[in-house]
Amino acid sequence: MESRGLRGRLLVFLLAVLATVAPSRAATAAAVWIVLSQERGAYGEVADTVKSALAQKRGAPALEIMTLAEATTRAGEDRAGRKPDLIVTVGAQAARQIATLYPRAPLLHTLIPRLAFTELAHGQAAVRHRSAIFLDQPVDRQLDLVRVALPRHKRVAVVLGPSSRQQLGELRAAARERSLSLSVETISEEGELIGALNRLLDDSDVLLSVADPVVFSGATIHHLLLTTYRYKVPVVGLSRAYVEAGALIAVYSTPQQIGRQIAEVLGRMAANGWALPAPQYPKYFAVAVNERVAASLGIILDEEEAILHRLMAVGRGESADSL
């Protein structure tokens, strides 16, 4: 009897301890900062989407959205305060500065080109504490777009710059897998671009854009589009803005789609002890078409939604030739 009573008192004691410990753990949600390169525009749209997606999620982290200026000020003032469990940067400027200000913090860089992330991570001792959701699309998806939307355009031209030349092997392998021929010119500075295009475009059906600031920038895009138009060669752009400027077509990800992916990554991290995932390309994407450019080049294209549907099907493993 005495032994049974002792066990009963011990059980009551353990339940009382658990009752006091469990609420304190639940109340201490993981702290996640979202640091924006700029407060408005695409950066703000990404943050708003993440906040909305996680608002009703059980076990969601405590989000704090701030500008880069605010994060910079806090780095100088709040050295003794609680550090975040994760910092999500939105945009390349925030990625560069936060990596310097918080060298030991786990960082998830978003809305950043893959090459910019590679350059940022190069030589850093804490690479294992860095990951990314890239802004640009994978080469496979871009070339699948060519096959799906422009099945007769088999000769693909690419101009690579100092940052993107490392992608040459990846581009060649992806083109070979899709029975596309690839012609490549490599340049070191903007002044070499037009000469490279003149050498390429006579024997090419389409120009594929790559994320390289020497090749594709505000300073080069006008002359590049004029040159390709003179040769009647369509351009596969990097974004909807490129299509609006004169590229024929692009596959890209919207700020809302990137925000949705960030929220999903944060949900998985919360369930797995906040271990950072491997760097990844956008999961969700859209297609933009410039109908005016298509008409002027004599190219007949399907509607954006139809092209997107086929591109997604190819991504699931269906054959482009059967769609």
Average pLDDT score over residue span 211-225: 93
CA distance 323 to 312: 11
Confidence band, pLDDT 50/70/90 cuts, at residue 19: very low
Question: How far is Cα of residue 102 from the mean position of the Cα atoms in its chain?
Answer: 22
DSSP state, residue 38: S
Tallying the residues shown for the chain, one arrives at 323
93: containing domain: 25-135+256-271
Confidence band, pLDDT 50/70/90 cuts, at residue 121: confident
Q: How far is CA 98 from CA 35, 73, 106, 139, 140, in A?
A: 8, 11, 11, 28, 31
Judge whether 243 and 270 are in contact, CB under 8 Å: no
CA distance 130 to 117: 9
Residue 55 maps to a domain: yes
Closest to 308 (Cα-Cα) out of 145, 142, 137, 134:
145
Confidence band, pLDDT 50/70/90 cuts, at residue 79: low
Q: Do 182 and 312 lie in a common domain?
A: yes
pLDDT greater at residue 132 or residue 57 = 132
Q: Do 42 and 93 lie in a common domain?
A: yes
Residue 4 maps to a domain: no
Q: Do 205 and 79 lie in a common domain?
A: no
pLDDT of residue 58: 82
Answer yes or no: is pLDDT of 318 > 70. Answer: no
Q: Do 198 and 299 lie in a common domain?
A: yes
Which residues are 107's β-sheet partners? 87, 130
CB atoms within 10 A of CB 44: 16
- Over its C-alpha atoms, the chain yields an Rg (Å, rounded) of 25
Q: Do 234 and 113 lie in a common domain?
A: no
Judge whether 289 and 249 are in contact, CB under 8 Å: yes
Residue 41 maps to a domain: yes
Q: How far is CA 52 from CA 5, 32, 48, 112, 269, in A?
A: 52, 15, 6, 22, 18
Render pLDDT for 255-310 as a digit per residue (tens, 0 to 9). Answer: 999 999 999 999 999 999 999 999 999 999 999 999 999 999 999 999 999 999 99
Average pLDDT score over residue span 234-248: 97
CA distance 70 to 172: 44
Q: Do 310 and 170 lie in a common domain?
A: yes
Q: What three-state secondary structure class fits 148?
A: helix
pLDDT of residue 122: 72
Q: Do 165 and 300 lie in a common domain?
A: yes
Answer yes or no: is pLDDT of 219 > 70. Answer: yes
Q: Do 260 and 317 lie in a common domain?
A: no
pLDDT greater at residue 235 or residue 81 = 235
Q: Do 264 and 175 lie in a common domain?
A: no
Q: Give the alpha-carbon dihedral of 206, 287, 314, 295, to 10 degrees.
A: -40
Burial label for 6, CB within 10 Å (0-12, 13-18, 19+), is exposed
Q: Do 77 and 217 lie in a common domain?
A: no
CA distance 61 to 188: 45
Residue 235 maps to a domain: yes
Residue 296 maps to a domain: yes
Average pLDDT score over residue span 75-88: 75
Q: What three-state secondary structure class fits 157?
A: strand
Residue 166 maps to a domain: yes
Confidence band, pLDDT 50/70/90 cuts, at residue 246: very high
Answer yes or no: is pLDDT of 25 > 70. Answer: no
Q: Do 213 and 315 lie in a common domain?
A: yes
CATH of the domain at 212: 3.40.50.2300
CA distance 256 to 268: 19
Average pLDDT score over residue span 118-136: 80
Tell me the DSSP string of 274-314: TPPPPPB--SS-EEEE-HHHHHHHT-----HHHHHHHHHHH
Answer yes or no: is pLDDT of 83 > 60. Answer: yes
pLDDT of residue 129: 87
CA distance 320 to 323: 5
| pTM beyond 0.75, yes or no | yes
Which residues are 287's β-sheet partners? 251
pLDDT of residue 30: 87
Residue 16 maps to a domain: no
Quote the number of domains for the chain. 2
Residue 203 maps to a domain: yes
Q: Do 179 and 316 lie in a common domain?
A: yes
